[in-house]
Every structure is written in C-alpha cells, then in structure tokens.
A and B are shown apart, each in its own frame.
Chain A
Amino acid sequence: EIILTQSPATLSLSPGERATLSCRASQSISNYLGWYQQRPGQAPRLLIYDASNRATGIPARFSGSGSGTDFTLTISSLEAEDFATYYCQQRDNWVVTFGQGTRLEI
C-alpha cells in the first residue's frame, strides 16, 4: 500500500498570503494524485486531479504541481473560505489511499 505523508500538519497564515502544502508518496505514483478541500461539517471537495489539473469550478488561485513522489498544492492568495483541511489522494492498482491532512488555519 502506498503511504502519503502530508506536511505540515498545521499551517497558520493570514488572508492574502500564499500557502504551500506538501504531499510525499512512499513510492512513485507518476502524476496520479488528487487534492481535496474539506471544511468543517462538509464532505471533501475535489480541487486538483492528476497532480496539476483544476477540477470543474475551482478558482485559479489553486494550483498543483509535482510528479513521482513529491507534490505541492499552492494557494496563491488566501481568501477567508480557503481556511480548511486539505488532503491528498492516490489510486494505485485499484487501491486508494489518502494523506493525513494539512489543516490551514488563520
């Protein structure tokens, strides 16, 4: 099973600042990585698929990069609604795993 490790566990920033979140895979997953946002009391929402493609309706301030084992989610200028928890996810050989999450707080 591929393990995804996210860092940092918690990131404290202010509105308008740039956020950089990391996800590292225990072995190469090419670009098969997704990023999700979860607000309290809500289901996760797909932000990025295949490492760098924004899902439908996702604002341009969200971007993803990386391949192999190291991936990054960047939020260029934080807005109030972006303070939430973010998860990375991979699918390998019909088994899906998630990272443990990064909590982005004000």
Chain B
Amino acid sequence: QVHLQQWGAGLLKPSETLSLTCGVYGSSFTDYYWSWIRQSPEKGLEWIGEISHTRNTSRSPSFKSRVTLSVDKSRRQFSLRLRSVTAADTGVFFCARVGGGGYEDAWGQGTLVTVS
C-alpha cells in the first residue's frame, strides 16, 4: 500500500526558502511522476509542479521562477524548494503521486507552513 511521508520546516520568515521532502513507501518510484500542491483559504488548491525519477519537471507558471524540484532516486524521495517566501505563501503543502492519466492518486499528510 502506497504511503507518502513528508517533512520540513513549518515556520519561516519572509525572504527565506521553504524546503520540504517527501518519502515514498510501498510504491514503484520510477513508474510515476511526483507532485507538490499547496492549499490556502485564499486560493484553495494550487498545483505547484511535478517531477519524474529522471528529473523531467513541469512547474506552474505561478511558481516557476521561485521553485526548484529535485529527486533522490536512491532514497526514494523528492523535494520542493520555494525561494523568497512571503506571507502569501502560507498554507498547507501536500506531496502526491501522479497516477495514470495525470491524477493525484496518493497524497502525503500535508505540512502547514507559516510565513511570519
């Protein structure tokens, strides 16, 4: 059974870099893309981007200039870095598996990130 476990700092100051990592358990790591999604009361669910084990990436235009996605195949982990955060970046960040057809069919537990 697939399980995604995510971790990272939950409190940041403006201008700092958000860094989150997601570990993949019980699933092939090479057969899927892996994505990040943010949820906030103001904007709802926002897709940030996704990455494959071969480091093919796609990023939302809304985040593209500030986002770095990376993958560590040997550890079965993928990571998100979001630079120059502001209060508007406050929200719950989820990692997810992108299944066939491009739908997020497994999700991490979410990490609340507060920028203050």
Which residues of A pack against B, CB within 8 Å? Answer: 1, 32, 34, 36, 43-46, 49-50, 55-56, 87, 89, 91, 94-101
* CB-based contact B103/A44 at 8 Å: no
User: B61 near A43 (CB under 8 angstroms)?
Assistant: no
Beta-carbon contact of B94 and A43 below 8 Å: yes
The distance in angstroms between the C-alpha atoms of A1 and B102, with both chains bound, is 16
B interface, how many residues as a size bin?
20 to 34
Contact partners of B46 in chain A: CB under 8 A? 98
A96 and B96 alpha carbons, distance in the complex (Å): 13
Pick the contact of A46: B47, B58, B103 (CB < 8 A). Answer: B103
- Looking at the assembled complex, report how far the CB atom of B41 sits from the nearest CB atom of chain A, in whole angstroms: 11
What total count of A-B pairs have CB within 8 Å?
55
B101 contacts A43, CB within 8 Å? no
12 A-B residue pairs with CB within 8 Å: A1-B61, A32-B101, A34-B103, A43-B94, A43-B107, A46-B99, A49-B99, A49-B101, A49-B103, A55-B103, A87-B44, A95-B47
A44 touches B47 (CB 8 A): no
Interface string of B8-28 (1 = CB under 8 A from A): 000000000000000000000
Set of chain B residues within 8 Å of A101, measured between Cβ atoms: 44-45
Report A-chain residues with C-beta under 8 Å of the C-beta of B104.
34, 36, 44, 46, 89
Partner of A45 from B45, B107, B109 at Cβ < 8 Å: B107
Proximity bits, B86-116, A CB within 8 Å = 1, else 0: 0000000010100101111101111000000
Chain B residues within 8 Å of A32, by CB = 101-102
State whether the Cβ of B60 lies closer than 8 Å to any Cβ in chain A: yes
Given that A32-B102, A43-B109, A55-B105 are contacting pairs, would A98 and B45 also be in contact in the complex, using a CB cutoff of 8 Å? yes
